Amino acid sequence: DRPQVAMDANGNAIAVWMNFDSIARRNNLFTNSYSAGAWGTAELLKPSDTNDAFNPTITFDRVGNAIAAWQQFGSAGNSIWTRFYSADNGWREDTVKAPGSSGAVAMNPHVTLDATGNGSNFATVVWQQKFSSNDRFDTGVFANRFDVSANQWGTTTQVVTASPGDAIDLRVASDKQGGAIAVWSQLDGTRRDVLTSRYNATGTWGAPQLLETDNTGNASTPHIATNSLGNAIAVWSQKVGALTRIWANTFITDKL
């Protein structure tokens, strides 16, 4: 269930998916790699674990490395985990949990990975999580930055600092300049809006801002992509009268 796939510039690919173990009665995550015109052998993405895992995501950087992220159930609730794939050596043996992601509702991660050009790799992971222990339903946007070379996480950031309503459909893309741009759909109390926030090279997330101001209907399911200059385009679906249409907005970098 829920397969995801990513491809590098040389035509190599990695797929990840959920697989239910009917004997152990749990959800496992599997992965397989495609290279030289053939698929390899499927293997567990998170070996030797007895807990359910859900919602895997996978992405490549510009030089053939990749990172996977998923939500993993444990005694404290769901946490966000990652595993790094090296273009030279394949999957790392270790998996790494994002700090600040343990809770009853930490779920649906999305990840982006970018090489800085000096041998370092940085991953940005965003996910849904409850604003606080008092929030029964509302989930906000949380994020963390992973230094792959140092195998070290930064500090988890609550990107949305207020709780107007449930945030869903999170996506993130590297801006190719050492930062990242996230988009999501969030309830404003009446309808769903599409918002965005940008992580810059100084290590901070900007204040969330609307990508659209049309209040005629719900806006949802945003996606975002960037190019090598750091420019970005976001697309989403929005209800307008009896029809649902596809809308877009662009970001032009100031780092030309």
Residue 124 has a pLDDT of 93
Q: How far is CA 44 from CA 19, 38, 48, 93, in A?
A: 10, 19, 9, 11
Average pLDDT over residues 56-83: 88
pLDDT tops 50 at residue 67: yes
Looking up tokens 């999305």, which residue turns up?
A: 110
Confidence of residue 246 (pLDDT cuts 50, 70, 90): very high
**Tokens (6 digits) for 50:** 């007895």
Nearest Cα to Cα of residue 78 among 109, 100, 105, 111: 105
- DSSP element (H, E) containing 118: none
CA–CA separation, 85 vs 174, rounded Å?
17
Average pLDDT over residues 204-212: 93
Contact between 212 and 236 (Cβ < 8 Å):
yes
**Tokens (6 digits) for 123:** 């991953």
Contact between 157 and 186 (Cβ < 8 Å):
no
CA–CA separation, 236 vs 38, rounded Å?
34
Looking up tokens 């698929």, which residue turns up?
A: 39
127 contacts: CB under 8 Å, gap ≥ 6: 71, 80, 98, 101, 106, 107, 108, 109, 110, 141, 142, 143, 170
pLDDT in tens, 142-199: 999 988 878 889 999 999 876 667 899 999 998 777 789 999 999 888 889 999 999 9
pLDDT tops 60 at residue 118: no
Q: Is 136 helix (H, G, I), strand (E, B) or coil?
A: coil
CA–CA separation, 96 vs 111, rounded Å?
14
What is the model's pTM?
0.89
Confidence of residue 140 (pLDDT cuts 50, 70, 90): confident
Confidence of residue 256 (pLDDT cuts 50, 70, 90): very low
pLDDT tops 90 at residue 130: no
Confidence of residue 94 (pLDDT cuts 50, 70, 90): confident
CA–CA separation, 224 vs 237, rounded Å?
13
pLDDT in tens, 10-33: 899 999 999 988 888 888 999 999
Beta-strand pair 180-187/192-199? antiparallel
CA–CA separation, 73 vs 186, rounded Å?
25
pLDDT tops 90 at residue 55: yes
